[in-house]
Structure 1
Amino acid sequence: MIAIKLTNHKNFMNALLRTEVFDHFLLQEATIAAAATYHIDGRMSREYYTQEEIDELGIAGYPCLPYGMLRNTCFDLIKGKKTPSAFNFVLMLSPDNLAKTLASLGSAFTIHDIGALFINLRFADGIMMLTTGVSYKTFQLDKSLDGQWDRLIQKFLDKHEIAFEIL
């Protein structure tokens, strides 16, 4: 796990709220403190969708909805003349992207070993932070995946020209 300070707030917020940069992540939860505090539970309400809709949307087997499906809602809660006092987004890889990521890293871990690969985006007291995280399904002595995930997120930020510094 690493802590990364996001140094260009405007650029980052544009990437988060107005582009598809983060759309392939799943939104586990979001909390936005503005005129009121809004909490979005990203877990999919299976009773809301028919199985046909789930299949058409390509979200079968997802524990949470893709951020791209909720991005406009988040944008509507944040936009305006005043900056929110705080927010927190917890994003994770979809099961498909988790499997692809583990394979691309040449990891000995499988999707059966890993609960999720996370990024946490937090804004408070004028500071914007991103922290990485790995959730293991069972206790692991091997923490090599943590470092690989940290490096992959740094490459992701570089690729999307999101300015940052590692703390």
Structure 2
Amino acid sequence: MISFKIKEINKFMHELLIAGTFDNFLLCDGEICTATAFTINGHFNKNFFSENELNTMNDDFSTWKNIRHIAFEIIKGDKVPSKMKLVLALSKTKYEEIITKSGMDIPASDVCGLYIHILYENDSIEIITGTSLNTFTLDKTLDKYWDTTVINFFESKFQCELL
């Protein structure tokens, strides 16, 4: 797990809410506080979908691409939100690739999630990485690889400051 700040807030918000830079990530959870607090649960409501539609889904969460316009509508206006918290995750379909690149020897089914926590508050954006496994291990190879992958992704687009 690493933590870092984004120095270019306007550029980051543009990439998050307009440009689609994060569209392939899944939204696990979200909270946006403006005049009121809005909570977004990214889990699919399985009762809404047909059995055929459910069979084509690889993940339990909606992509950020499908939610981004809703978040933008909540935020747009003359004032910035007092707080925004998003938990994004990598799709399960990418686990095998990440595990292979990390060099860790575990099955993809042992990975519960690879996360990016985004917190905007007090005119500051903090990013925290996270990994979750379904099994206990002292091997932190995957954690370190995910941290490096995320910071490289962010540093390729924004000025960042490790905390």
Quick check: 1:102 aligned with 2:99? Answer: yes
- Partner secondary structure for residue 23 of structure 1: coil
Q: Deviations over 1:96-119 (max 9, x none)?
A: 022222223333232122100000
Task: Give ranges in structure 1 of 5+ residues lacking alignment.
Answer: none
Distance 1:2 1:150 in 2: 6
Partner of 1:26: 26
Cα pair distance change 1:162/1:51, threshold 3 Å = farther
Task: Give ranges in structure 2 of 5+ residues lacking alignment.
Answer: none
CA RMSD of aligned residues (A): 1.4
**TM-score normalised per structure 2:** 0.94
The offset of 1:53, in angstroms, is: 3.9
The offset of 1:125, in angstroms, is: 1.8
The offset of 1:54, in angstroms, is: 4.6
Aligned residue pairs: how many? 163
Partner of 1:112: 109
Q: For structure 1, which segment, 80-89 or 143-152, has the greater mean C-alpha deviation from structure 2 after superposition?
A: 143-152
What letter matches 2:77 in structure 1? G
Partner of 2:80: 83
Q: Deviations over 1:41-78 (max 9, x none)?
A: 000011112244456xx5x1311111111111111111
- Partner secondary structure for residue 133 of structure 1: strand
Partner of 2:2: 2
Distance 2:31 2:51 in 1: 29
Quick check: 1:156 aligned with 2:153? Answer: yes
Q: For structure 1, which segment, 97-106 or 67-76, has the greater mean C-alpha deviation from structure 2 after superposition?
A: 97-106
What letter matches 2:118 in structure 1? L
Partner of 1:36: 36
Instruction: Show structure 1 runs of 4+ deviating over 6 A.
Output: none
Percentage of pairs with the same residue: 29
What letter matches 1:136 in structure 2? L
Distance 2:96 2:21 in 1: 20
Partner of 1:45: 45
